[in-house]
């Protein structure tokens, strides 16, 4: 394989992985038109069409899918072998990519990184805020942080926090004009701040409750929908309605009297946050340091 073919195939793999010329061009650091020309040149040299292009999507053809599945893993393996060379350096180095929710990133990940990064300036960490169940293998992410009950069984999971509880909260000004709910069913009479998840077609998150073995999932309604827990919190503090967040997220504001908690008897503890990653992954020294730092702050 000559150098031109190798470079063009890398460009094709980026487009096939992202299913978008725009996103692939941004990751490759080139213009969309330049990337399109590279793919056209590659298709002409191979004599076969690799991508189906429409105004809404980009998908591999049968030939493109075959190339992606056969060649893609080989390039990934080469990248892994090159990255492994960093283990020969005196100090750990390299980039670790993680996915986490806003709260987990701020309250769990950043305190751990404070212990590591000043000591190891050659370690870099990229944090991707995401509320969905990210496929870390497909998205080329090293690890994720999610509640333990959401982690797939085929992943290595390391507990990095105590058990969690959810909390339904609203501001004193909101409750000044409304009765406090006594059961989850009462939430249908309230203005609730919804969270839209990127998974399952962008559905709204159902509030989950349990009491005496009875489980309830409530689809609440309200005037505001966000895709950020930080905005849910701000909306509740400003009196727009009730919101449903982790206990640790809202506890400081409850203590200050800025939020009022309700339905606490319907919110039992559940498995705390876990760091998870593929069982076949060979941890780099940089990643191993991060795992240890997170493990030691779980309580």
- 197 and 56 assigned to the same domain: no
**Does residue 190 belong to any structural domain of this protein?**
yes
Q: What is the pLDDT of residues 64-108, one digit of tens each?
A: 888 888 887 877 777 766 666 655 555 788 899 999 988 899 999
Q: Are residues 141 and 283 in the same domain?
A: yes
| Total domains in the fold of the chain | 3
Cα dihedral angle (214, 219, 224, 225), rounded to 10 degrees?
Answer: 100
Same domain, 168 and 263: yes
Q: Is the pLDDT of residue 42 over 80?
A: yes
Q: 258 burial class (0-12, 13-18, 19+ CB within 10 angstroms)?
A: middle
Burial of 10 (0-12, 13-18, 19+ CB in 10 A): middle
Can you tell me the distance from the alpha carbon of 147 to that of 278, in angstroms, rounded to the nearest whole number?
16
Domain end position, chosen among 42, 70, 98: 70
Question: Does residue 166 have a pLDDT over 90?
Answer: yes
The first and second tokens of residue 147, run together, are 């509640």
Please indicate, yes or no, whether residues 43 and 107 belong to a single structural domain of this protein. Answer: no
Taking only the tens place, the pLDDT of each residue in 190-242 is 999 998 876 555 678 889 999 998 999 999 999 999 988 899 999 999 999 99
Asked whether residue 182 is assigned to any structural domain, the reply reads yes
> What is the span of the domain harbouring residue 63?
3-70
Write the pLDDT tens digit of every residue in 112-153. Answer: 999 899 999 999 999 998 877 667 777 788 888 988 887 878
84 lies in a domain?
Answer: no
Q: State whether 13 and 97 are in the same domain.
A: no
Q: Calculate what percentage of the chain has a pLDDT beyond 70.
A: 90
CATH of the domain at 44: 1.10.10.10
Q: 97 and 30, same structural domain?
A: no
Claim to verify: residue 169 and residue 264 sit in the same structural domain: yes
**What's the CA gap between 69 and 147, in Å, rounded?**
32
Q: Domain check: are 101 and 116 in the same one?
A: yes
If asked whether residues 208 and 245 sit together in one domain, one would say: yes
Tell me the C-alpha distance between 257 and 252, whole Å. 9
* pLDDT of 167 over the 90 cut: yes
């Amino acid at each position: 394989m000559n150098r031109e073919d190798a470079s063009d195939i890398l460009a094709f793999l980026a487009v096939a992985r992202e299913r978008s010329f725009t996103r692939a061009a941004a990751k490759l650091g080139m213009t969309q038109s330049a990337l399109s020309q590279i793919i056209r040149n590659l298709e002409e040299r191979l004599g076969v069409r690799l991508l189906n292009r429409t105004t809404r999507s980009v998908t591999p053809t049968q030939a493109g899918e075959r190339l992606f599945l056969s060649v893609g893993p080989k390039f990934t393996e080469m990248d892994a072998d090159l990255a492994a060379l960093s283990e020969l350096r005196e100090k750990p180095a390299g980039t670790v990519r993680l996915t986490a929710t806003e709260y987990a990133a701020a309250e769990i990940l950043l305190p751990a990184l404070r212990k590591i990064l000043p000591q190891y300036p050659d370690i870099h960490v990229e944090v991707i805020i995401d509320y969905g169940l990210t496929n870390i293998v497909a998205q080329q992410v090293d690890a994720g942080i999610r509640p333990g009950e959401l982690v797939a069984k085929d992943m290595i999971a390391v507990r990095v926090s105590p058990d969690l509880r959810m909390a339904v909260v609203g501001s004193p000004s909101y409750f000044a004009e409304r009765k406090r709910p006594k059961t989850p069913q009462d939430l249908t009479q309230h203005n609730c701040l919804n969270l839209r998840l990127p998974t399952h077609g962008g559905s709204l998150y159902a509030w989950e409750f349990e009491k005496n073995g009875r489980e309830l999932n409530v689809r609440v309604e309200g005037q505001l929908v966000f895709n950020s827990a930080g905005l849910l919190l701000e909306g509740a503090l400003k009196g727009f309605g009730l919101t449903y967040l982790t206990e640790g997220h809202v506890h400081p504001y409850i203590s200050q009297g800025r939020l009022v908690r309700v339905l606490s008897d319907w919110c039992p503890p559940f498995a705390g946050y876990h760091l998870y990653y593929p069982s076949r992954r060979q941890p780099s020294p940089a990643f191993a340091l991060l795992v240890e730092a997170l493990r030691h702050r779980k309580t």
